[in-house]
Structure 1
Amino acid sequence: MKKFATSLFPPSLMRLFQAQSGTTEHEHSGRQASPAPVLVSGTPATGPLVLASPHSGHFYPEAFVSAARQPLDILRSGEDSFVEQLALGAQALGPPLIQATFPRVFCDVNRAAWDLDSRMFHGSIPSFVAPSERGLAGLGSIPRIVADRRPIYRQRLPFMEAALRIRHYWMPYHAALANLLEQARNRHGFCLLLDLHSMPAAPQAGSPDFVLGDRYGTSCTPHLTNLAEQTLQGLGFKTARNHPYAGGYITRHYGRPEINMHALQIEMRRDLYMDESTRTKHAGFASLADALTIMVEQVLAHFPSHKSKTQSIG
Structure 2
Amino acid sequence: MNDASPSYRLLPGAPESPVLLHVPHSSRVIPAAVRDAIVLDDVALERELDHITDAYTDRIAERAAGRSAVRPWRFVNQLSRLVIDPERFPDEREEMLAVGMGAVYTRTTHGEVLRPAGDDGRPLGGQSLVDRYFHPYAAAMTHAVTHLLETVGRAVVIDVHSYPTEPLPYELHGEGPRPPVCLGSAPFHTSADLLAAAEDAFAGFGGIGVNSPFGGAYVPLKYYGHDPRVTALMIEIRRDVYMTEPGGPAGRGVGALAEALARLVDVLTTV
The answer to whether TM tops 0.5 is yes
Q: What letter corresponds to residue 51 of structure 1 in structure 2?
A: L
Q: Which residue of 2 aligns with 1:171?
A: 135
Question: CA offsets, 1:18-65, max 9 Å, x none?
Answer: xxxxxxxxxxxxxxxxx7111111247531111100111221123433
Separation (CA, whole Å) in 2 of partners of 1:111 and 1:245? 13
Separation (CA, whole Å) in 1 of partners of 2:188 and 2:206? 24
Q: Summarize the Cα distance change of 1:68–1:288 in structure 2 as closer, same or farther, 3 Å threshold.
A: same
Please, which of 202, 205, 217 is the counterpart of residue 232 of structure 1?
A: 202
The runs of 5 or more residues in structure 1 that have no matched partner are 1-34, 116-129, 304-314
Q: Which residue of 2 aligns with 1:147?
A: 109
Q: What letter corresponds to residue 166 of structure 1 in structure 2?
A: V
- Equivalent runs, 1:80-99 vs 2, <5 Å: 80-92=54-66, 93=68, 94-99=71-76
- Equivalent runs, 1:62-81 vs 2, <5 Å: 62-70=32-40, 71-76=44-49, 77-81=51-55
Q: Which residue of 2 aligns with 1:266?
A: 235
Residue 147 (structure 1) shift: 1.5
Residue 213 (structure 1) shift: 0.8
Separation (CA, whole Å) in 1 of partners of 2:97 and 2:199? 30
- Equivalent runs, 1:20-31 vs 2, <5 Å: none
Separation (CA, whole Å) in 1 of partners of 2:113 and 2:99? 11
Q: Which has the larger radius of gyration?
A: 1
Please, which of 186, 189, 193 is the counterpart of residue 223 of structure 1?
A: 193
Residue 197 (structure 1) shift: 0.7
Separation (CA, whole Å) in 1 of partners of 2:14 and 2:226? 21
Secondary structure of 2:182's counterpart equals strand
Q: Summarize the Cα distance change of 1:186–1:84 in structure 2 as closer, same or farther, 3 Å threshold.
A: same
Please, which of 253, 258, 264 is the counterpart of residue 284 of structure 1?
A: 253
| TM-score, structure 2 as length reference | 0.82
Q: What letter corresponds to residue 277 of structure 1 in structure 2?
A: P
- Equivalent pair of 2:85/2:103 in contact (CA under 8 Å): yes
Q: Which residue of 2 aligns with 1:3?
A: none
Asked if residue 107 in structure 1 is aligned to residue 84 in structure 2, the reply is yes
CA-atom RMSD in angstroms:
2.6
Please, which of 205, 208, 213 is the counterpart of residue 179 of structure 2?
A: 208
Residue 205 (structure 1) shift: 3.7
| TM-score, structure 1 as length reference | 0.71
Aligned length: 250
Separation (CA, whole Å) in 2 of partners of 1:185 and 1:90? 22
Q: Which residue of 2 aligns with 1:293?
A: 262
The runs of 5 or more residues in structure 2 that have no matched partner are 168-174
Q: Summarize the Cα distance change of 1:171–1:145 in structure 2 as closer, same or farther, 3 Å threshold.
A: same
- Equivalent pair of 1:54/1:109 in contact (CA under 8 Å): yes
Residue 82 (structure 1) shift: 1.3
